[in-house]
Structure 1
Amino acid sequence: MTTSKPLSALKTQIKTELGTELDFAATALGWLRDNLVHLAGALAVLVIGVILARLLSKAADRALNRSGRIEPTVAKFLSNIIKYALWVVVAITVLTQFGVQTTSIIAALGGLALAVGLALQGTLSNVAAGVMILIQRPFRVGETISAGPVLGTVSTIGLFTTEMVQPDGLYVMVPNNELWNKAIVNFSRMPTRRFELLIGISYSDDISVARRELLALAEGDPRVLDEPAPDVFVSALADSAVTVGLRVWCATSDYLALSWDLTEKAKQRFDDAGLTIPFPQREVRTIAAAA
């Protein structure tokens, strides 16, 4: 009698568990039978959506790269955005197949995106500025630019920052937002550039001699372009000198060396021609007091 009670209790427990499992299996099979069409539709939407997302993102990447106006970094970034956006649409469509109310999900995703955007406002502004820089191309790698207090040669353009090397050899990493919100001066973009040299001569010197020497200086340097032609002019009548100017055009790559050479040779030619380059002078008169 002591052993029959445990056996009967065990049999009852087994029947109960078996019945529960059978009920669960029957419920699952019934749900599967009732929702088989929805499952097939959801699976088809998922497979087709993933394939389309990959195909469209690759097609967008190829199209953006072929355009020639968009950097590969931006093209990859934009194609990934297209892919992930399509994945979100596919996921929402799959949930719709099962009768899930996606309005609340979309609202939650929108709120999450807003929260993330506010938290990463500075970072996202740098990303947006980086995308605009890579699309608009106000400068490229290897070009020398200035934007606000920053001056240097661009070495790397990223989505978040731009890396530059200053003329003194110092490395600078600038947030893209700092560059995009400033007026950018590109010293390397245009093929030619104008150089202007201003020199003061004495009021007693002959302006025509200074004009002749400056024109001869420009014509004697092969780096000076014939078009536009060199121009000599009187810039100002200053307190201590008559300011004479020379304007010449040259290739952008020759600008710095040409400016140094013309400045040095102008001084030498003026000395040889007897022209005086005065420095500011002040005349002091002493008036004796009446006895």
Structure 2
Amino acid sequence: MQDATQNTATGGEGANNVDIAFTFFQGLVEKAVAFLPSVIGALIVLVIGLWVAGRIKKVVAAAFSRTGRIDDTLGGFLSSLVHYGLIALVLITTLGIFGVPTTSFAAIIGAAGLAIGLALQGTLGHVASGVMMLGFRPFDVGDFVEAAGVSGTVKHIGLFTTEMATVDNKKIIIPNGKIFDDVITNYAGYPTRRVDFVFGVSYGDDLNKAMDLIKSEVEKETRAKSDPEPVIAVDTLNNSSVDIICRVWVERSNYFPVKWALTKAVKERFDAEGVSIPFPCRTVYMENAA
């Protein structure tokens, strides 16, 4: 009789356990069913949002490429910036659907961004300068420029640094911040340049003859432009010479060839026509001690 009672009690406890487990799983199912629309909605937003972000990145990159005025490096950087910004927006929206307080999350992101910005302010300054240079284009690849105290031909313009090659082919890498904060001289900024000459002749020489000889050699130089017209004039009365200036306009690619050719031609013509180029001299007065 006692055994039967114990079996009945054991069976009752087993039934209670089954009821508890059934109730627990039933509650889980109900909560899952109630939460399922949010999960599906969040997944839809996430998938569609990431797809749209990728498409917008391609559209922005193509738009920058079609303009022809924005460097490929800058276009890629800006399109990637737009892409990552949209991804961050999609993730925040997805977390909001799950019930995560996005206000505090955005505050955390802002604080983290501020900390990173302060830690990398020097580097980010160079990036900002690189973006400004690629946008405003104070010079292009292949231009001969003087910037940050260095002269050379621009080989590459990046977001962080600019690479230049000096006239003796030394590789110079300059942070963009130093370039953009300094004066930039672009010798290739305009299609033409002016070549300035100074020819010194003796005080005893015929100035009109010397000027005619210079004009004759300039007219022979086919690379010299007639418009604007070359300028030849007496400029300075120095201690030992009379300086005649000659200013000639040329295509920028002909600057040095014309400078070297005319200097040589005028010197040889002066020698042939008896026009002297004086050496510096001094007159010494000696007094006899009486």
Q: Same fold (TM over 0.5)?
A: yes
The equivalent residue for 1:245 is 245
* TM-aligned CA deviation for residue 23 of structure 1: 6.2
Code of the aligned partner of 1:190: Y
Tell me the secondary structure at the aligned position of residue 249 of structure 2: strand
Could you list the per-position Cα deviations for residues 82-131 of structure 1 after superposition, in whole angstroms to 9, with x for gaps in the alignment? 11101111111112223322111111111111111122222212222222
* TM-aligned CA deviation for residue 150 of structure 1: 1.0
Code of the aligned partner of 2:47: V
Could you list the per-position Cα deviations for residues 43-77 of structure 1 after superposition, in whole angstroms to 9, with x for gaps in the alignment? 23222211221121111111111011011111111
Q: 1:23 to 1:260 in 2, by over 3 A?
A: farther
The separation in 2 between residues aligned to 1:66 and 1:284, in whole angstroms, is 73
The equivalent residue for 1:217 is 217
* Structure 2 unmatched ranges of 5 or more: 1-10
Code of the aligned partner of 1:174: I
Aligned residues: 278
Please provide the CA RMSD for this pair. Answer: 2.3
* TM-aligned CA deviation for residue 33 of structure 1: 2.4
Q: 1:144 to 1:105 in 2, by over 3 A?
A: same
Could you list the per-position Cα deviations for residues 228-272 of structure 1 after superposition, in whole angstroms to 9, with x for gaps in the alignment? 111101111122211100010111111111111111121111222
The equivalent residue for 1:165 is 165
The separation in 2 between residues aligned to 1:276 and 1:15, in whole angstroms, is 127
Pairs within 5 Å for 1:184-195: 184-195=184-195
The equivalent residue for 1:6 is none
The equivalent residue for 1:7 is none
Q: 1:150 to 1:35 in 2, by over 3 A?
A: same
* TM-aligned CA deviation for residue 213 of structure 1: 0.8
Code of the aligned partner of 2:45: V
The equivalent residue for 2:4 is none
TM-score (norm. length: structure 2): 0.88
* TM-aligned CA deviation for residue 41 of structure 1: 2.6
* Structure 1 unmatched ranges of 5 or more: 1-10
Tell me the secondary structure at the aligned position of residue 52 of structure 1: helix
The equivalent residue for 1:74 is 74
TM-score (norm. length: structure 1): 0.88
The equivalent residue for 1:275 is 275
Q: Which moved more, 1:15-24 or 1:246-255?
A: 15-24
Fraction of identical pairs, as percent? 41
Could you list the per-position Cα deviations for residues 21-49 of structure 1 after superposition, in whole angstroms to 9, with x for gaps in the alignment? 76664443232222233223322322221
* TM-aligned CA deviation for residue 135 of structure 1: 1.6
